Chain A
Amino acid sequence: MSVSRLGNTFSALSDPTRRAILASLATGEKTVLELCKPFAVSQPAISRHLRVLEESGLITRRIDGTKRPCRLVPNAMKDVQQWLDMFRRVLETNYARLDLLLAEDASKPKPRRRKT
Chain B
Amino acid sequence: MSKLELKTEADRHVIVTRRFAAPPEAVYKAHIEPALIQKWLLGPDGWTMPVCISEAKPGGKIRYEWSDGKGRGLFLTGEFVTLEPYERLVHVERMHMPDATPDNHVETRFEPDGNGTLMVMRMTLPDEKTRAAMLATGMEHGMEASYVRLDGM
Interface of A is mostly: helix
Asked if residues A95 and B138 are in contact (CB atoms below 8 Å), the reply is no
Asked if residues A97 and B42 are in contact (CB atoms below 8 Å), the reply is yes
Contact with A along B131-151 (1 / 0, CB 8 A): 111011110111101110011
Segment 37-92 of A: residues with Cβ below 8 Å from B: 83-84, 86-92
Complex: A106 Cα to B26 Cα, angstroms: 9
Size class of the contact patch on chain B:
35 or more
CB-CB under 8 A for A94 and B42, given A99-B20, A102-B20: yes
Residues of chain B contacted by A2 (CB below 8 angstroms)? 153
Residues of chain B contacted by A90 (CB below 8 angstroms)? 43-44, 138, 141-143, 145-146
Q: Across the two chains, which residue of chain B brings its CB closest to A96?
A: B40
From A99, A103, A106, name the one whose CB has the most chain B CB atoms within 10 angstroms.
A99
CB-CB under 8 A for A105 and B145, given A83-B135, A94-B41: no
Query: B92 at interface (Cβ–Cβ under 8 A)?
Result: no
Complex: A3 Cα to B131 Cα, angstroms: 13
Contact with A along B7-28 (1 / 0, CB 8 A): 0100100001010111000110
Segment 1-16 of A: residues with Cβ below 8 Å from B: 1-4, 6-11, 14
Q: Lowest 9 CB-CB distances: which A-B pairs, in order? A: A10-B132, A102-B22, A7-B133, A6-B136, A97-B40, A98-B40, A90-B143, A11-B132, A86-B146
Q: Contacts A7-B133, A95-B4 known; list 15 others, CB within 8 Å.
A: A7-B129, A10-B131, A10-B135, A11-B129, A14-B8, A83-B135, A87-B135, A87-B146, A90-B143, A91-B143, A93-B44, A94-B40, A101-B36, A102-B22, A105-B22
User: Could you tell me which B residues sit within 8 Å of A by CB distance?
Assistant: 2-4, 6, 8, 11, 16, 18, 20-22, 26-27, 30, 36, 39-45, 128-129, 131-133, 135-138, 140-143, 145-147, 150-151, 153
User: Could you tell me which A residues sit within 8 Å of B by CB distance?
Assistant: 1-4, 6-11, 14, 83-84, 86-95, 97-103, 105-106
